[in-house]
Every structure is written in C-alpha cells, then in structure tokens.
Amino acid sequence: MASKELTSANFDVAVSGGKATLVDFWASWCGPCRAMGPVVEEISDDMADQLDVYKCNVDEQGELAQRFGIVSIPTLILFKDGQPAQQFVGAMPKATLASQLKAAL
C-alpha cells in the first residue's frame, strides 16, 4: 500500500479516522527524507491493519509544517484520535521505527 499525500484540505479528516495515523513530514530535496521513504512505505505495508500512513511535503504544505512545529525533517508524527501522540525526528532503521510505533500503539 502506498502512502497517500496530505494537504491542508484533507489533513484533519485523515488523522481523525478510526485507526492510528502516521504522518511523514518530508521534502524532495532532503537526503534523509529520501532515505526514509522506502522505510515508511514498508511500515505502511507491514502495519496496514494497525495504522494509516500519509506523507506531507513541507515545501508544499508550509501551513501544516508550521502548525505542528516541524523544524527538522524527516519528522514523523503518530496521531491517535486526531491528536499527536508521538513524534520521531530524523532517519532511523526500519526495525527501530517499527519497534517504537508498536510500543506507542
């Protein structure tokens, strides 16, 4: 399952669904973001029954980046019931991210 792109128009509806939601705040020029792309896609596939995964381009969606205080990318935020529950900053191995997500769920 490929992660979907979020905009200001669909953000609140997407993160307030029944499942937990992971949002990857990224930019195309960011090397660590590009490195995390495949990791986030694998997490999306592996944990599809537990969470929805979305991407948010901070260059195109500056309002959302500002709203959530994104100052470093990649930043991944886990939302539960529409509210930020946990934040992960920087590139990390898939096993580390998966472990931290499972602990937070």
- The backbone torsions φ and ψ at residue 88, rounded to the nearest 5 degrees and listed phi first, read -125, 130
d(CA 105, CA 101): 6
User: Of 6, 20, 22, 30, which one is the catalytic site residue?
Assistant: 30
State how beta strands 51-57 and 4-5 pair: parallel
- The backbone torsions φ and ψ at residue 79, rounded to the nearest 5 degrees and listed phi first, read -105, 140
The amino acid occupying position 44 is S
Based on the residue annotation, tell me whether 56 is a catalytic residue of this protein. no
User: Of 15, 33, 51, 56, which one is the catalytic site residue?
Assistant: 33
Based on the residue annotation, tell me whether 30 is a catalytic residue of this protein. yes
DSSP string computed for 7-21 = -TTTHHHHHTSSSEE
Q: Which positions are annotated as active-site residues?
A: 30, 33
